[in-house]
Amino acid sequence: MPDRPRRIPEATVARLPLYYRALVEMAEQRTPTVSSERLAEMAGVNAAKVRKDFSYLGSYGTRGVGYDVEYLLFQISRELGLTQDWPVVIVGIGNLGAALANYRGFSARGFRIVALVDADPAKCGKEVGGLVVEPLADLPRIVAERDVAIGIIATPAAAAQEVAGLLVSAGVTSVLNFAPTVIAVPPGVSLRKVDLSIELQILSFYQQRRDEAAEGRRVAFGGLT
């Protein structure tokens, strides 16, 4: 009865887009099949992981040959929901929101920005990336009429939780948050976050470790260079 008994591990889901990207590239250059080894190299992971990941989706490979690029691409697209396109709304059209609105790379992957929303009356009516910025008050109507499922929050941190609430009330069930703050959403709503400062801080941690290690060696060897 369970047509889809396969629960796909989170870590695998997070890698599917990498494989997707690699496969699009292979398809563009008309490569008919690809081995887990080659795919691993392109996606920056190791071959055993590629095979294990695909095994959660089903047995789509052929032993001694590899994977059919077109077929695998289709299976992964389907799994990721990229065979349909997703209307997206961006809330907060400042520096970052405008950059996102101007980015042409999303539509290539099936994400269509259908609305830009800002609380600042001075911004509303302005055109950004081919769309007119609309007032926050219209969010419920916009989400309902344009069937928006995904919302991107690019407001200051102080407004993020409130905006998330408005998005969810309006009917959005997937949220991507760029504001550097923790926000809560009800169960049944997906939330992901991107925090650039955190990425830099993680780099800083390892950078400092290396610097200290280098300093340690310099002192230990009494080197004056």
Binding site for ligand NAD (CB under 6 A): 91-97, 99-100, 103, 105, 118-120, 123, 136, 154-157, 159, 162-163, 178-180, 196
Q: Label the pairing between strands 150-153 and 127-128.
A: unpaired
Q: Label the pairing between strands 127-128 and 61-62.
A: unpaired
Binding partner of residue 37 among a copy of itself, ligand NAD, DNA, none, CB under 5 to 8 Å per kind?
Answer: DNA
Angle at 196 between CA 194 and CA 202, to 5 degrees: 105
Give every CB contact of residue 118 below 8 A, 6+ residues apart in sequence. 91, 92, 93, 94, 97, 124, 133, 134, 135, 136
Contact 111, 80 (CB under 8 A): no
Binding partner of residue 79 among a copy of itself, ligand NAD, DNA, none, CB under 5 to 8 Å per kind?
Answer: a copy of itself
Choose which of 26, 54, 148, 179 interacts with DNA (CB under 7 A): 54
Site string (62-81) toward DNA, x via CB under 7 A? xxxxxx--------------
Stretch binding DNA (CB under 7 A), from 16-24, 33-41, 116-124, 134-142: 33-41
CB closer to ligand NAD out of 57 and 159: 159
Choose which of 46, 83, 102, 201 interacts with DNA (CB under 7 A): 46
Identify the bridge partners of residue 172 per DSSP, sorted by sequence position. none
Binding partner of residue 18 among DNA, ligand NAD, a copy of itself, none, CB under 5 to 8 Å per kind?
Answer: a copy of itself
Positions of E strands within 5-57: 33-34
Contact 67, 73 (CB under 8 A): no
- Single-letter amino acid, residue 53: D
Binding partner of residue 5 among a copy of itself, DNA, ligand NAD, none, CB under 5 to 8 Å per kind?
Answer: none
d(CA 143, CA 136): 11
Q: Which residues are near DNA by CB under 7 A?
A: 9-12, 35-37, 45-49, 51-52, 54-55, 59-67
